[in-house]
Amino acid sequence: MELWSEMQRFEISPDVYTYSILINGVCRNRRTDEGHRLFEEMKKEGIMPNSVTFNGLIHGYCKQGLMEEALAISSEMTGRGIQPNAVTFSSLIDGYCKAGKMDAAMGLFSEMIIKGIAPDVVTYSVLIDGHFKNWNTKGALRLHSEMLEAGVNQNVFTVCSLIDGLCKDGRIADAVKLFLETVGVDNEVTGCSPNHVLYTSIIQGLCNDGRMFIASKFFSDMRRRGVRPDAITYGTLVRGHCHVKHLHSVALLHADMIKHGFTTDDEMHLSLLSCYQKFGTPRANFPRLSSC
């Protein structure tokens, strides 16, 4: 908003593009009230919003779970003769999925297809994620198959949702198979290099199932490929090893984490302390625990 203040100071009149950029920016930072204020202001100035403006505000409301407000903006959008596109539908579908209203989400999905609007990777991915989070594995996998048959390439978010959902459904072998099929051979996920998010997703699923040996193998492969783990990756492995009493591995991981510049958050601090208290681990094995 500093740029906005500078424009006002130099009496530079904003246009629809300026307003759209600002509205998108504040809405992505969960400042939707401010986005709506700018939206009303531009209309008062006689500047008509375009599809980018409307979609930015709709996306902001959906992310905050304010579906009534999002639908009101969507209605205004069509009322002004601007037809919703894949971005509009994807935002609304995502909002309904996060609210657990899968019937409404699938209703919009059907509507966009009837209107000749092709679902993109974002549309499919939020629906797949929504089905998994609402314990409908069959529906999620059906959508994934439809997506691939339609020639829509999956991305890292799609694969992470699938891995996470399969692991939570107890289908660990299927999750590992999916990971290896999408990453293991050609080292890419349809144009997206495997990143720490993708690796952490499979590692977390394995850790939650107590399969620490395989989780450690994936961690080693991650490092071998030059993918840098983050604090979440380390935390997942530390807690997993703590749970199965692999105390030496806990100490090594914690030391490696500190070595690479990561700090120990409260959750990991408690995990390490719990490990020490439960199993009588010598404090010397956690040389930096007292400074966490």
Q: Does the pLDDT at position 289 exceed 90?
A: no
Q: What pLDDT is attached to residue 12?
A: 59
**238/272: higher pLDDT:** 238
User: Domains in the chain and their CATH numbers?
Assistant: 1-82 (1.25.40.10)
Q: What pLDDT is attached to residue 245?
A: 83
pTM over 0.85: no
274, 247 contact by CB (below 8 A): no
Rounded Cα distance between 194 and 42, Å, is 42
pLDDT tens sequence across 126-159:
999 999 999 999 999 999 999 999 999 998 899 9
Rounded Cα distance between 3 and 38, Å, is 14
Confidence bin at 290 (pLDDT 50/70/90): very low
As a whole number, the mean pLDDT across the chain is: 88
pLDDT tens sequence across 43-93:
999 999 999 999 999 999 999 999 999 999 999 999 999 999 999 999 999
Q: Does the pLDDT at position 24 exceed 90?
A: yes
pLDDT > 90 fraction of the chain, expressed in percent and rounded: 66
Q: Does the pLDDT at position 14 exceed 90?
A: no
**Three-state secondary structure readout of 115-181:** CCCCCCHHHHHHHHHHHHHCCCHHHHHHHHHHHHHCCCCCCHHHHHHHHHHHHHCCCHHHHHHHHHH
**42/285: higher pLDDT:** 42
Q: How far is CA 54 from the centre of its chain?
A: 23
pLDDT tens sequence across 254-278:
889 989 988 877 777 777 777 777 7
Q: How far is CA 205 from the centre of its chain?
A: 16
